[in-house]
């Protein structure tokens, strides 16, 4: 009788210990910022851009890592990027704090030139004009359906940015978005030769990016699938549903590479599992 009572108590304490460990690990996994590096090589990359480093910041959703995002800014600075690319959802439409976003931007531009595109949360934001004005005043280049030339060591690549589709089409029940994005990309790349880099929030449009011949896409939106399962990957992502095809990392098709950041913050689902917040460091290498 006593032995059975002891085993019951032991099992209870073991389960409580495991539960507490899981809670601590999950909290740590939602706040412990990490940097993932991806090296891309190819003969289409200009030799002058060999070693060019892009730091990607995505889906911050007004989160703060350290006081005034000091930990995030320090991590960016120590990796010495040539440019910083913000690929949407810098703010969260449900709990917007433009001051936090602008404070981060003002410090980020002191590290490297910053280029920004919108996400679906900016498209739902009544104060987007205020945010855009503040970002531009801070020195951020806002690429709302724009293309510019980036020069480095005498070489040139084209950097493009797409506004989130929700600015134009609120519901995609008729599958209009791919055609709209294709038209925009064809307009942006018209008469432009050489290596192309696209900042676009939406990874689910990868087939469209491929068909338009974009060389490199930096994307986010999927939050790494929110809950990452061993041997399976992400569980769910917006606009992709369960077991998303494009949730994190590098995807390639023909001459097009797409890097999908797991992002930094949370939104509707306030918790990540096995899915640490990340910045992505992309380094270009010419063959």
Q: How far apart are CA 94 and CA 151, in angstroms?
A: 38
pLDDT recorded at residue 193? 75
CB crowding 55-66: b at 16 or more within 10 Å, else e = bbbbbbbbbbbe
What contacts 24+ positions apart, CB below 8 Å, involve 230-239?
230/274, 234/275, 236/269, 238/120, 239/202, 239/204
Q: 3.60.21.10, 3.40.50.2300, 3.90.1150.10, 3.40.50.40: which CATH number matches 35-286?
A: 3.60.21.10
Q: Is the pLDDT at 1 greater than 60, yes or no?
A: no
Phi and psi at residue 53, in whole multiples of 5°?
Answer: -115, 130
126 vs 192, higher pLDDT: 126
Q: What is the pTM (predicted TM-score) of this model?
A: 0.93
According to DSSP, residue 54 is labeled E
> Can you tell me the mean pLDDT for 270-276?
93
pLDDT recorded at residue 183? 95
Phi and psi at residue 98, in whole multiples of 5°?
Answer: -65, -35
Q: How far apart are CA 150 and CA 160, in angstroms?
A: 10
Element (H, E) at 114: strand 114-117
Domain regions of the chain by residue span: 1-31, 35-286
Residue 157 to residues 1, 71, 164, 221, Cα–Cα distance (Å): 77, 31, 23, 25
């Amino acid at each position: 009788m006593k032995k059975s009572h002891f085993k019951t108590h032991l099992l209870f304490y073991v389960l409580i210990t495991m539960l507490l460990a899981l809670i601590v690990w999950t909290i740590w996994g939602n706040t412990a910022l990490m940097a993932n590096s991806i090296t891309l090589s190819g003969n289409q990359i200009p030799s002058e851009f060999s070693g060019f480093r892009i730091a990607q910041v995505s889906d911050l959703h007004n989160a703060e890592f350290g006081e005034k995002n000091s930990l995030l800014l320090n991590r960016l600075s120590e990796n010495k990027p040539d440019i910083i690319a913000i690929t949407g959802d810098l703010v969260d439409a449900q709990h917007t704090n433009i001051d936090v976003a602008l404070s981060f931007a003002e410090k980020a531009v002191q590290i490297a030139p910053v280029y920004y595109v919108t996400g679906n949360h900016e498209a739902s934001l009544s104060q987007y004009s205020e945010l855009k004005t503040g970002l531009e005043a801070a020195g951020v280049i806002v690429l709302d359906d724009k293309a510019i030339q980036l020069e480095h060591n005498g070489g040139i690549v084209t950097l493009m940015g797409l506004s989130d589709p929700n600015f134009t089409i609120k519901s995609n029940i008729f599958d209009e978005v791919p055609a709209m994005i294709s038209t925009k990309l064809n307009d942006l790349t018209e008469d432009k030769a050489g290596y192309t880099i696209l900042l676009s929030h939406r990874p689910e449009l990868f087939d469209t990016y491929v068909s338009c011949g974009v060389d490199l896409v930096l994307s986010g939106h999927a939050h790494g699938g929110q809950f990452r399962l061993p041997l399976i990957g992400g569980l769910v992502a917006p606009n992709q549903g369960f077991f998303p095809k494009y949730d994190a990392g590098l995807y390639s098709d023909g001459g097009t590479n797409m890097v999908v950041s797991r992002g930094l913050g949370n939104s509707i689902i306030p918790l990540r599992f096995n899915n640490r917040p990340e910045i992505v460091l992309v380094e270009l290498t010419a063959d």
